[in-house]
Amino acid sequence: MFLLLVLAVLALLYYLYIKPLWHWKSRDVLFENPIPVFGNMMKPTLKMEHITTLIHRMYNNYKDSPYFGILNFQNPILVLKDPKLIKRVMVKDFDVFSRHLAMADEKIDPLWSKNLFSIQDVHKWRHLRATLSPTFTANKLRMMFDLMQECAKNFTKHYLEQEDEVFEVDIKDAFRRYATDVIATTAFGITCNSLKDRNNEFYIMGLDASNFDGIRFLKFLLYSISPLLTKILRLGIFSKTVSNFFRKIVSDNIRMRKEQNIIRPDMIHLLMEARKGKLKKEKSEPVDLEADSFAAVDESEIIKKETDWQMEITDEDITAQAMVFFLGGFDTTSSMMSFAIAELAVNPEIQQKLDKEISDVFENTGGKIKYEDINRMKYLDMIISETLRKWTLAILLDRQAVKPYTIYHDNGKQPLKLNEGDVVWIPTYCIHRDPAYFPDPEKFDPERFSDERKHEIKPFTYLPFGAGPRNCIGSRFALLEAKIALFSILIHFEVVPTKKTILPLKLNEKAVTLQLEGGFIFGLKKKKANMGNYLIC
């Protein structure tokens, strides 16, 4: 009996931890030798190297292959390299790859599983996407512009009050606070000043929800090793404190709007209208190509044609959308702004050229900056676009097959068959640093996105906000938020390196997310020119 038990345990261990090691070899897919339990993820797990370093090495090792295989613990992942194949997966064959890999059970963590990014039910996702899409039209962003600008002015005014002419600032922390204020006012209708009230609840909860170290890192790790175990243990992504905070904020907000008949052009209002069946589809606005950001992504035809918007929307659904919107601004957008400032600090000639554009716009408008003025700043957009190229925050895009799929090859090689549930990764970080698409990729060169050169960028090699129907719905919101902040700072300050700045800029291999080694400590040097009018206009 004991022998049978031992054999059964050994058979189980073989099935769980040994058999997956040969998954890609059996399919004739190039791969790097994995090890039991970890697969290819031992070094990132032990924080010996960043996951982008691992994927980049493998990406370069298999230059002539359209894809390669990786083992995320026991889970096989197909990593796509060929832009044509990426287009098929993200756009042409969206009906097959229509969802992201689930990271939490809906019954255990509804705020994570019900948001627009994570939702698994494609039918419900389409309705929800169509419902939220009007939040980010040009008209709505134009309405939000003044709210964002007020946050940026408060942000800049705080630093102008510093006595020193040159002083150190943790730029990442500063931008997180700015992003907190922007999201609080534009999505929740709540006014914050996170630089003065440094421990306000919005900021504290944002820190908690976006912290992927410690306990949350272990949760993601356990999910990668055994999704079933996380379900048995009922482990959610967010803490109860964070979840309950956002539930209360949204429920109080909804109640107040109903009682006082408050109408704001934001996400919560749109979802409340959809719940009452009063939401009407807006006419699609023509995109001003001259003023549109190169990095922005458009809504897909699938969503534009969506007409049946009737769906049950609960307070929990509204909370889930508001929360993921908050997290996107708090961490991702603040990181984009931080990397932009870092590059400007170490590339003074680029900063000087941007300073000239900012000064010209300021003088031409008399300091009364409008939505259209920011959007027509070409060099500012080139800098943001290049920041997202070199330091793309969406380092890996994932898609999961909802039915079997076959990848055919032009060279006569045997087709590769994928099963329902198989996952593919698009290694955005690696593609953006591929010299075949972006010569001298380590160089920060905004001119790549000039009118004269941007046509050279090959389709599906620049994916900062994804592509296809499941691209980032808030790309234009994030870009506008970043541009307003950079404009406001650089009117009054020159950004310079400090003694704490590690040069050249390098990736922090021990961080879970994309961070600079040594952090984002830079100096703000007050300019002598008086631009004070901008703070009171």
Question: Could you tell me the domains of the chain?
Answer: 129-393+471-536 (1.10.630.10)
Q: What is the average pLDDT score of the chain?
A: 87
Question: Phi, psi at residue 353, to the nearest 5°?
Answer: -65, -40
Please give the pLDDT value at position 220.
67
Please report which confidence band the pLDDT of residue 78 belongs to, taking 50, 70 and 90 as the band edges.
Answer: very high
472 labeled binding residue: yes
| End-to-end Cα spacing for the chain | 84
Q: Which of 387, 374, 388 is nearest to 483 (CA)?
A: 374
Spell out the SS3 assignment of 358-393. HHHHHHHHCCCCCHHHHHCCHHHHHHHHHHHHHCCC
Question: Phi, psi at residue 380, to the nearest 5°?
Answer: -60, -45
Please give the pLDDT value at position 397.
96
CA distance 324 to 312: 19
Please report which confidence band the pLDDT of residue 301 belongs to, taking 50, 70 and 90 as the band edges.
Answer: confident
Q: Which amino acid is at 258?
A: K
Cβ count within 10 A of residue 6? 10
Q: What is the mean pLDDT of residues 363-372?
A: 93
Q: Give the SS3 label for residue 292.
A: coil
Q: How many helices (H) and strands (E) are present in the chain, helices listed first?
A: 23, 9
**Residue 459: C-alpha distances to residues 337, 389, 467, 512 (Å):** 25, 14, 10, 29
Please report which confidence band the pLDDT of residue 215 belongs to, taking 50, 70 and 90 as the band edges.
Answer: low
* Structure tokens given for 228: 């079933």
Q: What is the mean pLDDT of residues 368-376?
A: 94
Q: What is the mean pLDDT of residues 376-390?
A: 98
Please give the pLDDT value at position 58.
95
**Helix, strand, coil % over all residues of the chain, rounded to 5:** 50, 10, 40
The secondary structure of residue 331, as a DSSP letter, is I
**Is the pLDDT reported for residue 304 higher than 50?**
yes
Largest CA distance in the chain: 88
Among 100-109, 308-317, 495-504, the least confident range: 308-317
Please give the pLDDT value at position 65.
93
Please report how many Cα atoms fall inside a 13 Å half-sphere around the Cα of residue 59, on the Cβ side: 23
pLDDT in tens, 90-147: 999 999 999 998 777 777 788 888 888 888 888 889 988 888 888 888 888 898 899 9
Please give the pLDDT value at position 537.
40
pTM for the full model? 0.92
Give the highest mean pLDDT range of 24-33, 409-418, 448-457. Answer: 448-457
405-407/397-400 β-pairing: unpaired
Q: Which of 101, 118, 82 is nearest to 400 (CA)?
A: 101
Give the highest mean pLDDT range of 13-27, 134-148, 382-396. Answer: 382-396
Residue 94: strand pairing partners: none
Please report which confidence band the pLDDT of residue 531 belongs to, taking 50, 70 and 90 as the band edges.
Answer: low
Please give the pLDDT value at position 422.
95
Q: Considering only residues 220 and 329, tell me which one the structure prediction assigns the higher pLDDT.
A: 329
Please give the pLDDT value at position 536.
40
116 touches 129 (CB < 8 A): yes
Give the highest mean pLDDT range of 33-42, 117-126, 302-311, 446-455. Answer: 446-455
CA distance 196 to 212: 26
Q: Which of 410, 403, 45, 460 is nearest to 218 (CA)?
A: 45
Please give the pLDDT value at position 64.
87
Q: What is the mean pLDDT of residues 468-481?
A: 94
Match 């006595």 to its residue by tokens. 163
The secondary structure of residue 332, as a DSSP letter, is I
Please report which confidence band the pLDDT of residue 2 belongs to, taking 50, 70 and 90 as the band edges.
Answer: low
Please give the pLDDT value at position 213.
67
Percent of the chain exceeding pLDDT 70 equals 86
* Structure tokens given for 349: 């000639």
